[in-house]
């Protein structure tokens, strides 16, 4: 296998942004922790070697081990034409990715505002307050930004898809799963984002992936969790 991806085996999580890039590129990869003994292999690999990761996901390729989702996407973007080659285009794609990552981080924190070391059930009241702000103010603000950037183009940068489009697709999917009401309202305000979501979902390799068993369903262990009490 050209690529070994290390990520938690039962959630989409941040690993999904890497999976989508590999799938769109049509690359074979081993999703290591989903194989037998895989989580042990993940934990052993995490701190190994000269470039250890603070947390999954990380990717092995060409003798390198690359951690941090956005850094992995720089690498895959350059190798597989999922970002422009010129400096300005590379930076702009990455800027968009990092802004998407900010939105994803905020989505995560709606159910874990106090910290990851506690269960959701132990921070439910705080979660309700944070999710109220997120659905009322933050989703609309981020969608307004990305809707403005997209305009009437097919993809964020123009005619060609980049890893930022794949990541924005995944984020909209996740938000629509976790916050169907709030996300439905925001998409109705930004039909171009709804169209982008559809356009990415219909790309042949992405469509094949989404209907395969490689795509882990959304669930209440991942970043995007459907807790109806947090959606409004």
Residue in 41, 114, 195, 210 binding its own copies, rule: CB under 8 A: 114
Site string for its own copies, 19-58 (x = CB under 8 A): ----------------------------x---xxxx----
Helix residue ranges per DSSP H, the chain: 15-25, 38-46, 69-79, 87-109, 124-133, 139-150, 163-178, 180-189, 191-201, 204-210
The DSSP secondary-structure symbol of 218 reads P
Q: Compare residues 65 and 170 and give the one whose CB is closer to its own copies.
A: 65
Give the count of residues interacting with its own copies (CB under 8 A).
42
Decide if residue 192 touches its own copies (CB under 8 A). no
Looking at residues 80 to 99 of the shown chain, list those that interact with its own copies (rule: CB under 8 A).
87-88, 91-92, 94-95, 98-99
Contacts of residue 164, Cβ cutoff 8 Å, sequence gap at least 6: 83, 93, 96, 97, 100, 156, 157
CA distance 42 to 31: 10
2, 137, 201, 208: residue in contact with its own copies (rule CB under 8 A): 137
Query: With binding defined as CB under 8 A, does residue 153 bind its own copies?
Result: no
Q: Which is nearer to its own copies, 35 or 52 (CB)?
A: 52
Q: What pairs with residue 66 in β-bridges? A: 59
| 113 near its own copies (CB under 8 A) | yes
User: Which of 142, 218 has the CB closer to its own copies?
Assistant: 142
Give least dist CB 176 to its own copies, A: 21
Angle at CA of residue 139, ends 229 and 73, nearest 5°: 115
Decide: 146 and 193 in contact? Cβ < 8 Å: yes
- 3-state secondary structure at position 10: coil
Q: Which residue has tokens 């991942």?
A: 222
Quickly tell me which residue has 């459907």 as its tokens: 226
Please identify, among the stretches 115-123, 169-177, 188-196, 212-220, the one whose residues bind its own copies according to the rule CB under 8 A. Answer: 115-123
Quote the CA–CA distance of 206 and 132 in Å, as a whole number: 32
Interface contacts to its own copies, rule CB under 8 A: 47, 51-54, 64, 66-68, 70-71, 74-75, 78, 87-88, 91-92, 94-95, 98-99, 102, 105, 109, 113-115, 117-118, 123, 126, 129-130, 133-134, 137-138, 142, 145, 148-149
């Amino acid at each position: 296998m050209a690529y070994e991806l290390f990520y938690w085996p039962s959630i989409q999580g941040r690993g999904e942004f890497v999976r989508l890039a590999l799938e769109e590129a049509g690359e074979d990869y081993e999703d290591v922790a989903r194989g037998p003994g895989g989580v042990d292999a993940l934990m052993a690999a995490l701190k190994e070697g000269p470039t250890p990761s603070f947390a999954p996901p990380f990717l092995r390729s060409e003798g390198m081990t690359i951690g941090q989702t956005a850094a992995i996407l720089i690498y895959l973007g350059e190798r597989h034409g999922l970002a422009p080659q010129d400096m300005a285009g590379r930076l702009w794609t990455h800027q968009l990715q990092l802004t998407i990552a900010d939105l994803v981080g905020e989505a995560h924190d709606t159910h874990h505002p106090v910290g990851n070391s506690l269960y959701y059930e132990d921070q439910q009241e705080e979660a309700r307050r944070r999710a109220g702000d997120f659905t009322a103010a933050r989703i609309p603000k981020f969608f307004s930004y990305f809707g403005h950037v997209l305009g009437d183009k097919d993809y964020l940068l123009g005619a060609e898809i980049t890893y930022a489009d794949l990541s924005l697709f995944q984020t909209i999917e996740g938000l629509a799963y976790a916050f169907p009401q709030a996300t439905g309202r925001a998409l109705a305000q930004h039909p171009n984002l709804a169209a982008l979501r559809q356009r990415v979902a219909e790309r042949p390799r992405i469509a094949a992936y989404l209907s395969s068993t490689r795509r882990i369903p959304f669930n209440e262990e991942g970043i995007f969790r459907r807790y109806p009490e947090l959606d409004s």
